[in-house]
Amino acid sequence: MVEFNGFTFAVETVHGALSEHAFPDPQPPNTKTAYLETPPPDQPQAFKIRITPTHPLKFNKTVGWLFNLRLDGVSNAWWYQVSSDIRPDGFVFEGIHISTLDRSQAVCKEMLFCALETVEGGETEDTTVDYDNLGTISLDFVELAAYRPLAAQNTPLSNERGFVNGPVSEKKTKGTSSSHSTTTGEVLGKPEQAKFTGTTKGPTFTLHYLYRSRGALQSLGIIPTPITEDQPIQRQPKQEQRNAPNELRADARIKMEGRGQVIDLTSIKDEPPAKEDVKKEGPASVIDLTGVKEEVKTSSRAVVAMMVDLTREESVEPV
């Protein structure tokens, strides 16, 4: 529901009120705009519009209000009145009143959403489409200064401008994400005349509903697009672990000459020293210190016992 200037508005189907979404851009004075999500295609497309005072009207301070409806630029044949003796608690636009050919009466017709059919340039299109108002439900209301019963319909009623009746230009609808238009369905009553006439005061307030399909609203970024199983989930790359220089040294191989012995100190790290496996197999014995960390504490006795000469030239080869 949308609250605006003392009234609450809702567009409803047989399944309840349709979802509304905030319009992000600034609006002109006395104007409010909201996005409206059309029903899924497998549900009934007929709708009505409920208007109620947000708080009970104080008719000792106001005579009342007048309301009118426009669908894609097509105006209701007359304004609806809310006053102390006529619809004081609000009303429902069950349909839109379309004037008869002689414009002396109007008949109420069911209101429907209809998916747009688009064509590219050069193809046949409906040339009567009001592209400025396509995809828009507008509700105008103004304060009533005075009113009186209407004895006869002297002023011709607003004539039907015409709803979309065929394909529309794809080029002319680009940028609006228009997905639907409105049209009329069944006749809801007999032709009738307007019953009251009145004068107004103050500004006219306008509420615009920009009605779009769920897919169109997602493409506009109005509602989020759900992630499906078919869509890859973007994961943040893992941050590389950065070790301090004294935690991990580059692999080095220290070659030590002396009676054919080699001590391999590959991947020296700052961790407790691993256990040493010392194998004595004759003159060409090998001391395996793989995994030995930075703080290598080599016993001088072991070196002497193994007759390892560390006083000779040694070379360090960074990898």
- As given in the structure block, the two tokens for residue 167 are 């394909």
Looking at residue 239, the DSSP 8-state letter turns out to be P
Q: Is the pLDDT of residue 216 over 50?
A: yes
How many angstroms separate the CA atoms of 37 and 210, rounded?
A: 9
Which tokens sit at 154?
Answer: 């002297």
The mean pLDDT of the chain is 77
158 closest CA partner among 94, 48, 49, 74: 74
Instruction: Please state which of the ranges 11-15, 59-63, 128-132, 207-211 shows the lowest mean pLDDT.
Output: 128-132
How far apart (Å, rounded) are the C-alpha atoms in residues 227 and 224?
Answer: 9
Give the residue with greater pLDDT, 261 vs 135: 135
Residue 213 predicted with pLDDT over 70: yes
Query: Is the pLDDT reported for residue 21 higher than 90?
Result: yes
Enumerate the domain spans of the chain: 2-220, 245-319
Distance (Å, whole) CA 97 – CA 105: 9
Give the residue from 162, 179, 178 showing the smallest Cα distance to 128: 162
Non-local CB neighbours of 134 within 8 Å, separated by 6+ positions: 72, 73, 164, 168, 173, 176, 178, 181
pLDDT of residue 126: 66
94 band by pLDDT with thresholds 50, 70 and 90: very high
| pTM assigned to the model | 0.69
Report the pLDDT averaged over residues 244-263.
40
